[in-house]
């Protein structure tokens, strides 16, 4: 980190609002009632770690949402060249923060000791405004009322500004025990993304005046603009300044419930507890923002190779024979399948870590797993956090003996989920983490599962309040749907934790924050309140589950979690929860997937064909064509819906073979993207603006997406459509299904593409090298087939370059890295200059790949001008190869797909060289000079 500076600005105060971008609200709009008069900065000093430590005092007390906290501690630190932290808390006593052992980060200095002893107000510092400068960001502040701004050093653009005026639509800083409010002014031209989890019907771009509430809730994904399973208080701000894009990120690290109000020219946080712990990430590119963000919160977890295969699940596989039949039918239909899942059907009366002795007898299940494991297939089951209250249940008895449950008034808090009455483990308790690991180990010894699915961990509760088990009534009944509350319960409203003064828009209807979850006055380890820790419950369970699985056999864990928080991507994948089999839900799934890439959870997908009710045949066709390109690709259906495995309809089976066939050819590319995600946070599925940040036309695009930098998916999202209009940013785009077809978009254009029922349009961008294999019905087999390199140049270019990469490793090792003798990284390069083409590689640690025998069998080069096969003079490592009998060279004219009003007269060729045998782990160089066609 470069040195920082702290100095007064000798400027005229009247220019402060102009230079720092404070906007006055529309004079015709009436500003809301103000809460308080903010704080004054009494003192500020440098700290030993190069930061600043300040003391704030409230200007005027008021009682709205409770009394103000009189003195606040302010800590500011440029933690890296690109990351700035602003931390504000009570100066007199500790407040709740996301536990530092759960989400590792630097601790602020200890609380200030020297507070004003006199009731007489101490004069604030007089020099204002002031600056604290880092390499990329500058922190500025005023003393009274206290406000701060963060601006970019390179262009002086104000990124965040909390200063409020009398005409502003927001308050100065408010800091009470159960209500924190802080706002920033924003340019109306800023494009914002993030603030989830919610289903955004209008796409990925945050829209003014729509609700953004962050509080983990078991509200199905069909609910629009509602707080759902995860809480991610982070957003990315993308601004286009005179044609050049600048992106930055803002995280408010706080696990308490909050409403975030975006008005178009300002954004306000209304938080019901905790501290204000802001992190600002300088960017400047969208990829750089996610890199800096995941560097802070934890890099995404490495995924095993098989996780990128196709997964099949259903709630309602009533016995093992049904599961065996599903696997057999996928094989019969020749549809790829890597992983078969069980929801809770395998359990004995819905109890975790058990087997139904009749439906899933252990011996028969072991034999089934032996068979699928021998093929390379995997098996994953669900576990819920609620532990059945049952004295004949060993898991429960061991948990009671270890005292691992969340408490209410000194006793385990009673709730209801699928087994009936349950207690919830407290994963903030170290004893619980050990007990949980022991139960997973015991279960794994009985059933050698390959991963775990942690569901219902918001935490979901079918009841609310304080409950007791009813006498003389079977709970749950065997005839009802199972989710109706059958405990005897009373509402809990007697504490300020259960009924806080400010009501967030929980569940989209201002529901009590303890509604259908754990009572917020219940307590965790060391007296931590559920009120504070609620939204990290699923995160803490994922951390404990990851630790348990990693210790089993030293393998790379695979965990799928419904509830997520900041940092969850370091431990788990995510699916977007209970969606519907509708065309709208098909479309919504893209936005949610793209948001989770920004959140640092790149392994994400939605239930293909919808969770309920049964989709139409046409919809399921279109959904597998899209879902085949989710990072996490799984078909999952509801207990009460008809069967919807991909082979159930002949047309869907055909679409699946087509789309999943391409996915399995792209597995080496997807797996290499997962390595990129693990080392830099880069999303696997990305909005188009990640590659084309200067192309403002794609800022709100939510109907297409990129895999990595180069592969664009443009699915059909409308009923009855047989074509799709897709946006093509400037450049040459080649069809992955027929590489002779190209869209050459000089300045960017919307192009209508044919898309009959079994067709999904996937294109690869120019200047790319994509490693592919031949595919197969299972990733283990597909992984050992020969490689093809697809090289894309701009159509007709005389000078051009292309590049790509390939990461290979023993994919079940816990770590995904170089330097362990079990991995290889190959960087591919290509150049086109003066009718000469060169393709070469630079290999890091090639021994691993060489031991596997991987070879490049085919090279496809797209976008060449005026080539004839007869004119090619092919050289590999300096040696001519025309005398090699297996090498075949062919050329094909490109077919141009144009805009409706465009007349295409260009000519370009595809060159394919087959029969090569180039070892993947060894550097190579291939070149040729092109003959010119007459």
The tokens of 144 are what?
């009274």
CB count within 10 Å of CB 893 equals 11
Torsion of CA 106, 110, 116, 117, to 10 degrees: 160
Evaluate if residue 869 carries a pLDDT over 60: no
Evaluate if residue 13 carries a pLDDT over 60: no
Whole-structure pTM value: 0.94
pLDDT digits (tens, 9 = 90+) for 786-817: 999 999 999 989 999 999 999 999 999 999 99
What pLDDT does residue 33 have?
Answer: 62
- CA dist., res. 46 & res. 515, Å (int): 45
Q: Which has more pLDDT, 4 or 100?
A: 100
Evaluate if residue 496 carries a pLDDT over 70: yes
DSSP 850: H
Mean pLDDT confidence for 64-80: 97
pLDDT digits (tens, 9 = 90+) for 141-179: 999 999 999 999 999 999 999 998 777 778 999 999 999
What pLDDT does residue 14 have?
Answer: 27
What pLDDT does residue 476 have?
Answer: 86
Q: Are 454 and 385 in contact (CB under 8 A)?
A: yes
Query: For residue 701, how far is the Cα from the chain centroid?
Result: 18
- The proportion of the chain whose per-residue pLDDT surpasses 90, expressed as a percent, equals 83
Evaluate if residue 844 carries a pLDDT over 60: yes
Q: Which of 34, 8, 252, 19 is nearest to 164 (CA)?
A: 34
Are 38-112+124-297 and 786-933 in the same CATH fold?
A: yes
What pLDDT does residue 23 have?
Answer: 33
Evaluate if residue 867 carries a pLDDT over 60: no
Evaluate if residue 71 carries a pLDDT over 80: yes
Would you call 92 helix, strand, or coil by DSSP?
coil
Which CATH fold topology does 786-933 show?
Immunoglobulin-like (2.60.40)
Positive or negative: CA dihedral 636, 642, 647, 650: negative
Backbone φ and ψ of 786, nearest 5°: -65, 155
Complete DSSP assignment for 863-925: EESSEEGGG---EETTEE-TT-TT-EEEEEEPEEP--TT-------EEEEEEEEEEETTS--E
What pLDDT does residue 904 have?
Answer: 55
Mean pLDDT confidence for 543-560: 95
Active-site residue numbers?
Answer: 455, 458, 578
pLDDT digits (tens, 9 = 90+) for 339-368: 999 999 999 999 999 999 999 999 999 999
What pLDDT does residue 140 have?
Answer: 96
Q: Which has more pLDDT, 15 or 232?
A: 232
Complete DSSP assignment for 609-659: T-SBSPPPHHHHHHHHHHHTTSSSEEE---TTSPP--TTSSHHHHHHHHHH
What pLDDT does residue 116 have?
Answer: 59
Evaluate if residue 113 carries a pLDDT over 70: no
The tokens of 580 are what?
């519907």
Evaluate if residue 774 carries a pLDDT over 60: yes
Length of the chain: 934
Mean pLDDT confidence for 424-437: 98
Mean pLDDT confidence for 288-303: 98
What pLDDT does residue 871 have?
Answer: 58
Q: Which of 122, 105, 196, 184 is nearest to 150 (CA)?
A: 184
CB neighbour list of residue 361: distance below 8 Å, 6 or more residues apart: 320, 355
Confidence of residue 80 (pLDDT cuts 50, 70, 90): very high
Mean pLDDT confidence for 683-687: 98
What pLDDT does residue 880 have?
Answer: 81
Complete DSSP assignment for 758-802: T--EEEEESSEEEEE----SSHHHHTTSPEEEEEE--TT-SEEEE
CB count within 10 Å of CB 495 equals 13
Check whether domain 38-112+124-297 has CATH 2.60.40.1760, yes or no: yes
Mean pLDDT confidence for 603-623: 96
Q: What is the CA radius of gyration of the chain?
A: 29
The domain spans of the chain are 38-112+124-297, 786-933
Evaluate if residue 683 carries a pLDDT over 90: yes
Evaluate if residue 868 carries a pLDDT over 60: no
Evaluate if residue 432 carries a pLDDT over 70: yes
What pLDDT does residue 62 have?
Answer: 93
What pLDDT does residue 475 have?
Answer: 87
- CA dist., res. 397 & res. 140, Å (int): 57
pLDDT digits (tens, 9 = 90+) for 246-281: 999 999 999 999 999 999 999 999 999 999 999 999
What pLDDT does residue 16 have?
Answer: 28
Evaluate if residue 482 carries a pLDDT over 80: no
Evaluate if residue 681 carries a pLDDT over 90: yes
The tokens of 501 are what?
């003064």
């Amino acid at each position: 980190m470069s040195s920082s500076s702290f100095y007064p600005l000798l400027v005229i105060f009247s220019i402060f609002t102009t230079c720092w971008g404070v906007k006055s609200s529309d004079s015709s709009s009436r500003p809301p009632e103000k809460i308080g008069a903010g704080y004054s900065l009494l003192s500020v000093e440098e700290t030993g770690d190069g930061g600043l430590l300040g003391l704030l005092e409230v200007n005027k007390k008021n009682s709205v949402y409770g009394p103000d906290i009189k003195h606040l501690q302010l800590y500011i630190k440029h933690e890296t060249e690109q990351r700035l932290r602003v931390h504000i808390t009570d100066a007199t006593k500790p407040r709740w923060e996301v536990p530092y052992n759960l989400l590792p980060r630097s601790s602020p200095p200890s609380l200030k000791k020297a507070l004003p002893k006199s009731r007489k107000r101490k004069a604030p510092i007089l020099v204002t405004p002031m600056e604290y400068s880092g390499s990329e960001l500058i922190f500025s502040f005023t003393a009274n009322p206290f406000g701060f701004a963060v601006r970019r050093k390179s262009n002086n653009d104000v990124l965040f500004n909390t200063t409020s005026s009398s005409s502003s639509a927001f308050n100065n800083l408010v800091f009470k025990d159960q209500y924190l409010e802080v706002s920033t002014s924003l340019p109306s031209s800023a494009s914002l993304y993030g603030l989830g989890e919610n289903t955004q019907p209008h796409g990925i771009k945050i829209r003014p005046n729509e609700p953004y509430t962050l509080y983990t809730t078991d509200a199905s994904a069909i609910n629009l603009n509602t707080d759902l399973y995860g809480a991610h208080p982070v957003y990315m701000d993308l601004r286009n300044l005179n044609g050049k894009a600048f992106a930055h990120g803002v995280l408010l690290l706080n696990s308490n419930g909050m409403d975030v109000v975006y008005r178009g020219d300002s954004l306000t946080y209304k938080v019901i507890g905790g501290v204000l712990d802001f992190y600002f990430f300088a960017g400047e590119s969208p990829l750089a923002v996610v890199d800096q963000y995941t560097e802070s919160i934890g890099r995404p977890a490495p995924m095993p190779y098989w996780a990128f295969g196709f997964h099949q699940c259903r709630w309602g596989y009533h016995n093992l024979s049904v599961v065996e039949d599903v696997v057999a039918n996928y094989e019969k239909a020749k549809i790829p399948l890597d992983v078969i899942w069980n929801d809770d059907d395998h359990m004995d009366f819905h109890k975790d870590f058990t087997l139904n002795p009749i439906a899933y007898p252990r011996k028969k299940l072991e034999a089934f797993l032996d068979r699928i494991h021998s093929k390379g297939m995997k098996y994953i089951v669900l576990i819920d956090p609620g532990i059945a209250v049952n004295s004949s249940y060993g898991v429960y008895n061991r948990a009671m003996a270890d005292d691992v449950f969340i408490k209410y008034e000194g006793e385990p808090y009673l709730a209801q989920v699928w087994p009936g009455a349950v207690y919830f483990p407290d994963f903030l308790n170290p004893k619980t983490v050990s007990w949980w690991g022991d139960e997973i180990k015991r279960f794994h010894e009985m059933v050698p599962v390959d991963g775990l699915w942690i569901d219902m961990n918001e935490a979901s509760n079918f009841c609310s309040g304080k409950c007791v088990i009813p006498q003389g009534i079977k709970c749950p009944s065997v005839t009802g749907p199972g989710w109706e509350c059958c405990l005897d319960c009373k509402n809990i409203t007697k504490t300020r934790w259960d009924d806080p003064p400010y009501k967030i828009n929980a569940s989209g209807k201002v529901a009590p924050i303890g509604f259908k979850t754990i009572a917020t006055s219940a307590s965790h380890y060391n007296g931590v309140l559920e009120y504070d820790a609620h939204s990290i419950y699923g995160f803490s369970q994922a951390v404990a589950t990851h630790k348990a699985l990693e210790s089993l056999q030293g393998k790379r864990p695979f965990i799928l979690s419904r509830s997520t928080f900041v940092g969850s991507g370091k431990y788990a994948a995510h699916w977007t929860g209970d969606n519907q089999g509708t065309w709208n839900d098909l479309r919504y799934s893209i936005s949610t997937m793209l948001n989770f890439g920004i959140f640092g959870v790149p392994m994400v997908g939605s239930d293909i064909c919808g969770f309920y009710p049964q989709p139409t045949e046409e919809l399921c066709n279109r959904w597998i064509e899209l879902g085949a390109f989710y990072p996490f690709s799984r078909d999952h259906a509801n207990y009460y819906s008809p069967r919807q495995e991909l082979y159930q309809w002949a047309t869907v089976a055909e679409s699946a073979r087509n789309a999943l066939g391409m996915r399995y050819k792209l597995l080496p590319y997807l797996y290499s993207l997962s390595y990129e995600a693990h080392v830099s946070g880069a999303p696997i599925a990305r909005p188009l603006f990640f590659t084309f940040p200067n192309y403002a036309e794609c800022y709100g695009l939510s109907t297409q997406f990129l895999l990595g930098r180069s592969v664009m998916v443009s699915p059909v999202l409308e009923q009855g459509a047989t074509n799709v209009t897709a946006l093509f940013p400037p450049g040459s785009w080649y069809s992955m299904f027929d590489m002779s077809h190209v869209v050459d978009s000089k300045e960017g254009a919307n192009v209508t593409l044919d898309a009959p029922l079994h067709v999904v349009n996937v294109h690869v961008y120019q200047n790319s090298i994509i490693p592919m294999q031949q595919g197969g019905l299972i990733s283990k087999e597909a992984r050992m087939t020969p490689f093809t390199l697809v090289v894309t140049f701009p159509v007709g270019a005389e000078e051009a370059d292309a590049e790509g990469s390939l990461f290979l490793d023993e994919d079940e090792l816990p770590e995904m890295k170089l330097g362990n003798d079990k991995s290889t990284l190959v960087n591919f390069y290509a150049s086109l200059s003066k009718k000469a083409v060169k393709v070469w590689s630079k290999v890091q640690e090639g021994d691993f790949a060489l031991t596997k025998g991987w070879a490049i069998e085919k090279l496809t080069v797209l976008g060449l001008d005026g080539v004839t096969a007869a004119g090619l003079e092919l050289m590999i490592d300096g040696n001519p190869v025309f005398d090699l009998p297996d090498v075949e060279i062919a050329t094909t004219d490109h077919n141009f797909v144009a805009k409706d009003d465009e007349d295409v007269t260009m000519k370009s060729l595809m060159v394919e060289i087959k029969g090569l045998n180039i070892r993947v782990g060894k550097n190579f160089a291939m070149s040729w000079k092109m003959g010119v066609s007459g």
